[in-house]
Amino acid sequence: MAWLVKGAKAGDVLFLHYSGHGAQTKAATDRGEAYDQVICPVDYTTAGCIVDDDLFQMLAKELPQGVRLTAVFDCCHSGSMLDLPYEFVCSSTITTGNSNYHMKQIRKDNFSKGDVLMISGCKDTQTSADVGNTASMGNGATGAGGAATQCLTYVLLNTKDLSYKDTVVKTREMLAKKKFEQVPQLSASKPLNLNEKFSMMKTFPVDSSMKQSLPRSIQLLL
């Protein structure tokens, strides 16, 4: 992961996909969080798990302005795996209207000059399911895979001109239709304009109504 972001400069486009084991551990800090989210690499029995705080420090904190990082964590307890400050929320159950969906600032630290978008397989309190045969999800290939990844892939490949909001909502709806209980989350380093066209290549369209929530040093860069 350190290799991915090392030397990143304005105009670079980065992508990270993690599909593996995730877990929770008792929080080591006093920020009011009961648990930290962790990923479990292949050597976790000897080297330990990687905590969400460290993932932010490693992947997002030092990214310069103009760098775009999209990260997909399709693992258990992944809702806030990068500890980013803004989160996609809905004030009620899934509907087709726009008014219920918005970005909410959930913390006042962990900002980044770079544009970091994370999509998780589930909420922090949930587990992420696998499918035994990905062909059953409509993507053509066979073999095992993460249910959230398969639904996200299907939505992106089969729906034109998706907004950021629609990408999340349609992925959630497909999972629910397939009888999965997990609810993918979207979080970002800046207050994303959810109605703009979804992209993994471009820097963020920031929601102007929330610009003042960013540190002054980052506001001046926008």
Q: Is residue 222 part of a domain?
A: no
The 8-class DSSP code of residue 64 comes to P
- State yes or no: is 21 an active-site residue: yes
* Domain of residue 174, residue span: 14-210
What CATH number did the domain enclosing 34 receive? 3.40.50.12660
Cβ 118 vs Cβ 81: under 8 Å: yes
Structure tokens at 47: 């080297």
* pLDDT for position 138: 85
User: Do residues 124 and 80 touch, judged by C-beta distance below 8 A?
Assistant: yes
Q: What is the pLDDT of residues 20-48, one digit of tens each?
A: 999 999 887 656 678 899 999 999 889 99
Quick check: is 9 in a domain? Answer: no
As a whole number of angstroms, the distance between CA 48 and CA 6 comes to 23
Confidence of residue 144 (pLDDT cuts 50, 70, 90): confident
Domain assignment of residue 3, yes or no: no
Cβ pair 184, 121 in contact under 8 A? yes
> Does residue 4 sit within a domain?
no
- pLDDT 10s digits, 62-80: 999 999 999 999 999 999 9
pTM to 2 decimals?
0.92
Rounded-to-integer distance, Cα 194 and Cα 90, Å: 12
DSSP assignment of 34-49: SEEEEEE-TTHHHH--
Q: Is the pLDDT of residue 50 over 90?
A: yes
| 8 within domain boundaries | no
Flag whether 215 is in a domain: no
* Bridge partners, 102 (sequence order): 89
In a domain, 221, yes or no: no
How many distinct structural domains can be found in the chain?
Answer: 1
**Structure tokens, 25:** 């551990």
Given the residues 76, 102, 122, 151, select the one marked as catalytic.
Answer: 76
Q: Does 133 have pLDDT greater than 90? A: no
* 76 flagged as catalytic: yes
98 is a domain residue:
yes
DSSP-derived 3-state class of residue 50: strand
